Chain A
Amino acid sequence: MHAFDFQRPATLKDAAAFLKKNETARVLGGGQSLIPTLKMRLAQTPALVDVTRLEELRAVKLEAAVLTVGAGLRHSEVATHKDVLIGVPALARVAAGIGDRQVRNMGTLGGSLANNDPAADYPAAVLGLGATIHTNRRSLAADKFFTGLYETALKPGEIITSVEFPLPKRAAYVKFKQPASRFALVGVFVSEGAGHVRVAVTGAGNAGVFRMKDMEKKLAEKFAMESIAKSKIATDKLLSDIHASGEYRAHLIGVLAQRAVAAAIAGKYQ
């Protein structure tokens, strides 16, 4: 690890001001990806700006049609928060299944989204629920937010403040773990809302999380496993590595999507 300056501003405004002045400074969430990268000297930064204690990033609000979760919430907090469990229980289950206990006690929602690891769980939930990402500058639809491997629409110095999830009728996430990292080798998040269905896949895409729109169409007609039992899944945009070929990932997308639909119907959320 190279030396860096550590900032823990008291307000969101202060954090934004510091980042404006120090363009190469990095926003620090729970640090579960960034800190190891710095420790291994694979990245370096003049300053880290810790936003996890900002009050503006810590609110959870459940309303009639939406659940808003502060970007600073730790995975373990999302997993156990009453409003999340009532509003979007599948989201709580996603949070409960990220990494291990230590990671869940440190990692944050905003940090995970900003990092956009192609095998992370949260991007699947955010895209699969059609959530809106709020920053200190603007609001972004999930469909516009994730732009590539570890790439997002965030501009330098922009801070995610909260994520607004429309409440689904039912939803579930099913993940097949990569045996070493226990990240998603493939993870499929399925949700059914008013008149629409979303299917989001993590772990498999060579440009990160993506939607299975043909599956969505079939499930919108009938929300049942058999609707997507014979889905053809192209392999050309899928990752292929020592853990799984594109072909196997495609197969898993089919299996896991069906299982997610079954779980959503059964109210099991996985």
Chain B
Amino acid sequence: MNAPYIGQSIKRTEDQRFITGGGTYTDDVNVVGQTYAYFLRSPHAHAKIRGINFAKAKAAAGVVGIYTGEDLTAAKVGGLPCGWLITSVDGQPMKEPPHPLLAQGKVRHVGDQVAVVIAESLHQAKDAAELIEVDYEMLPAVVNAADARKPGVPLVHDDVPHNTCYTWAIGAKDVVDKAFASASHVTTLEFNNNRLIPNAIEPRAALAQYSRGDEAYTLHVANQNPHVERLLMTAFVLGLPEHKVRVIAPDVGGGFGSKIFLYAEETVITWASKQVNRPIKWTAERSESFVTDAHGRDHVTKAELAMDKSGKFLAMRVHTTANLGAYLSTFASSVPTILYATLLAGQYTTPAIYCEVTAVFTNTVPVDAYRGAGRPEATYVIERLVETAAREMKLAPAEIRKRNFITQFPYQTPVALCYDTGNYGATLEAAMKLADAAGFEARRKQAADRGKLRGLGYSTYIEACGLAPSNIAGSLGARAGLYEAGEVRFHPTGSVSVFTGSHSHGQGHETTFAQVVADKLGIPIENITIVHGDTGRIPFGMGTYGSRSIAVGGAAIVKAIDKIIDKGKKIAAHLLEASADDITFKDGVFSVAGSDKKKTIAEVAFASYVPHNYPLDKLEPGLNETAFYDPPNFTYPAGSHICEVEIDGDTGATKIVSFTAVDDFGNVINPMIVEGQVHGGLAQGIGQALLEGCAYDAESGQLITGSYMDYAMPRADDVPSFKVDTKVTACTHNALGVKGCGEAGAIGAPAAVINAITDALGVKDIAMPATAERVWRAMNTKSKKAK
């Protein structure tokens, strides 16, 4: 491999260890004296706890300790915090009922943790847990968002009336209402955005150790943002000083958002590790993941689009009820508001938008950010409306989009965001070409001859990534900063360790970031190590979520590199006996302009660490720089997805015969990795549209889809061989011109799939997941109507 590395599809260096079993996941870490935690969980959706009798369990073989909510109260341990304050339309702050680590007199969803048993072995912990007698008084439960505010419905939290966390709104309602009143056509849709269960391949896991010698804790945890985990856990829950807690998130096997959050389990065992003075390991079983990992989506929405005669969008009006589950998870409040409603302009010049969001508590697993987080929900609203509008207006789907595309940048939307750049027509044109949209009608006819219904669906999405800047986010309720940190450390002989606050849990940062560093420093990629995931080693950073790593974390590293080069110039100037102003840096070499005098950056690094010939009076030794980068704006990846489906007219089974995605992620560092991210995102988006539907029993509140026997994850044969490409408009406000790519597939795909199915069937709407039975019923309803 040779420079320039940026733009090359370099194979992921980390894959060697992942594929050959050399990775170190949390459950791989074992320490002397380790004990095992098992959490006793509620079998009921909603119940009062009259009493807990654990006398027998305490006496069981191998038990080291058993703790319940009472012990935590006695120890003044707090509940889990929420990281984003949303203010209701009436000016009141959102309702933040306590989110206890272990139940305090009441359980609120199936899987709610009641007690922790710590034992010498996991089996002993489980055996002991079976001996705990919990006296439950069952209460009626509510699980559906649409039911949560109805009169007479049980209250999940006694002090939260109508189960309502907040009612929030954005946009000028009067302007929007006026536009609707004068519109020549209004398209209306009502639908649910289905609840999803994240299912990272590695279940959540944690290993907590307390060291009596220095009164310090070390927590290994499968997490996407170790510094945030530590901050929330120490400052808000356990009341520990941060310097006494080290959080290590080693290799992490997928997160998709579900490992952003601070959970009860790792917090409880961190606390308990001091109580029992032993290390404690906890690894979720898959069944536990289903009932404890924060779920995603779960909206009930009514959406309307007003147009003039030509199909020009005049206004959009949206009302959403968002199901937050039983408790406020770490960033739950921001997902259906800040990350959702602000995206409702999509790629269009819709001048007026109003969106009202009511967030409710139910007796279900908490809902929080899941790949896309708010933006898939927004895209689904927009792109289902736009496609439906096109059909009602008898306009081609591409045509109605082109008539409304934003073409002038920067563009200020009516819902707070300001897009810096984009070229939506270019991605749409390219996608249509790649998908052979022109040949579709012929394919539809051929399919009909075979008894199949063929449909084509579009989705032209926008997303906002790299959530920022911190001060604006703060004014919108964020309780954390949104910058990222990077440290670039030259070693004396010229190799480099880069410490990033971003976290890789499958994205390939160790390769992508190294490509950037290698090019910017002009050194071989083999000489670079990317270090992440350890608060003991990396500077304070915010971790990875919202497709932010390269746009924010990468930019922070570049900023640190700029400092390195700046200092390197001064050192080189001294070594070369020139003025720093005359030193240029290119391809790893400092030279004096207009001469052949030069020093490599490795020589400069060596001089800085062995400063015998060094300007010690002006410069510190060493070549080690840290930078914090707080972006001035979001980045706005965008793209066009086109899905082609074929439906079995007898069974209703849908097959995706072709899926095309042309995305604009700004500059692309590693095309192969980007393509992989798109593939994964598309598979998840297709999963949501066709397969994945978390189901609770409305009466009992039991999770029906509690295992892979009932929760359908997409598999290789559920998705086609994707056609993907990229078009580039470089981000205008970060050093790399990058935008982020991790969530795009999951954002754009669901609407494209449902638009294709409704096109094939000739129906207005079909619920997600569009199971074979739902499609069959839609066909039946339609043929009955035709008769």
Residues of A within 8 A of B (CB): 1-2, 40-41, 176, 179-181, 183, 242-245, 248, 251-252, 255
Least CB distance, B290 to chain A, in whole angstroms: 12
Q: Would you give 24 A-B contacts (Cβ < 8 Å), ordered by A?
A: A1-B123, A40-B287, A41-B130, A176-B651, A176-B653, A179-B690, A179-B691, A179-B712, A179-B718, A180-B708, A180-B711, A180-B712, A180-B713, A181-B710, A242-B695, A242-B704, A242-B705, A243-B771, A245-B773, A248-B772, A248-B773, A251-B776, A252-B651, A255-B651
- Among A181, A243, A255, which residue has its beta carbon within 8 angstroms of that of B650? A255
- A-B residue pairs, 7 tightest by C-beta: A180-B712, A179-B712, A248-B773, A181-B709, A255-B650, A242-B695, A180-B710
Q: Which residue of B lies closest to A41 (CB)?
A: B126
Contacts of A248 in B (CB 8 A): 772-773, 776-777
Contacts of B651 in A (CB 8 A): 176, 252, 255
Contacts of A244 in B (CB 8 A): 773
Least CB distance, B505 to chain A, in whole angstroms: 25
Q: Which residue of B lies closest to A254 (CB)?
A: B650
Contacts of A255 in B (CB 8 A): 650-651
Contact, CB under 8 Å: A242 / B710? yes
Contacts of B710 in A (CB 8 A): 180-181, 242-243
How far is B773's CA from A248's CA once the two chains are assembled, in angstroms?
A: 6
How far is B718's CA from A134's CA once the two chains are assembled, in angstroms?
A: 40
Contacts of B650 in A (CB 8 A): 255
Contacts of B287 in A (CB 8 A): 40
Chain B, range 410-454, C-beta contacts under 8 Å to A? none
Chain B, range 122-175, C-beta contacts under 8 Å to A? 123, 126-127, 130
B757-784 interface mask toward A, CB cutoff 8 Å, 1 = contact, 0 = none? 0000000000000011100110000000
Q: Which residue of A lies closest to B649 (CB)?
A: A255
How far is B195's CA from A141's CA once the two chains are assembled, in angstroms?
A: 46
Q: Which residue of B lies closest to A181 (CB)?
A: B709
How far is B777's CA from A2's CA once the two chains are assembled, in angstroms?
A: 45
Residues of B within 8 A of A (CB): 123, 126-127, 130, 287, 650-651, 653, 690-691, 693, 695, 704-705, 708-713, 718, 771-773, 776-777
How far is B706's CA from A181's CA once the two chains are assembled, in angstroms?
A: 12
Apart from A40-B287, A179-B771, A180-B710: 13 A-B pairs, beta carbons within 8 A: A1-B123, A179-B718, A180-B708, A180-B711, A180-B712, A180-B713, A181-B710, A243-B710, A244-B773, A245-B773, A248-B772, A248-B776, A251-B776
How far is B570's CA from A220's CA once the two chains are assembled, in angstroms?
A: 95
How far is B762's CA from A26's CA once the two chains are assembled, in angstroms?
A: 54
How far is B711's CA from A245's CA once the two chains are assembled, in angstroms?
A: 17
Contacts of A41 in B (CB 8 A): 126, 130
How far is B690's CA from A138's CA once the two chains are assembled, in angstroms?
A: 48
Contacts of B773 in A (CB 8 A): 243-245, 248
Contact, CB under 8 Å: A180 / B709? yes
How far is B653's CA from A248's CA once the two chains are assembled, in angstroms?
A: 12
Contacts of B712 in A (CB 8 A): 179-180
How far is B690's CA from A170's CA once the two chains are assembled, in angstroms?
A: 36
How far is B772's CA from A243's CA once the two chains are assembled, in angstroms?
A: 9
How far is B705's CA from A251's CA once the two chains are assembled, in angstroms?
A: 24
Contacts of A176 in B (CB 8 A): 651, 653, 772
How far is B287's CA from A247's CA once the two chains are assembled, in angstroms?
A: 31
How far is B695's CA from A255's CA once the two chains are assembled, in angstroms?
A: 28
Q: Which residue of B lies closest to A252 (CB)?
A: B651
Contacts of B771 in A (CB 8 A): 179, 243
Contact, CB under 8 Å: B708 / A181? yes
How far is B123's CA from A79's CA once the two chains are assembled, in angstroms?
A: 38
Contacts of A179 in B (CB 8 A): 690-691, 712, 718, 771
Contacts of B704 in A (CB 8 A): 242
Contacts of A252 in B (CB 8 A): 651
Contacts of A181 in B (CB 8 A): 708-710
How far is B127's CA from A92's CA once the two chains are assembled, in angstroms?
A: 43
Contacts of A242 in B (CB 8 A): 693, 695, 704-705, 710
Least CB distance, A50 to chain B, in whole angstroms: 22
How far is B650's CA from A251's CA once the two chains are assembled, in angstroms?
A: 9
Contacts of A2 in B (CB 8 A): 127
Least CB distance, A46 to chain B, in whole angstroms: 16
How far is B772's CA from A248's CA once the two chains are assembled, in angstroms?
A: 9
Least CB distance, B396 to chain A, in whole angstroms: 33
Q: Which residue of B lies closest to A244 (CB)?
A: B773
Most buried by A among B651, B690, B713: B651
Q: Which residue of B lies closest to A259 (CB)?
A: B650
Most buried by B among A2, A180, A244: A180
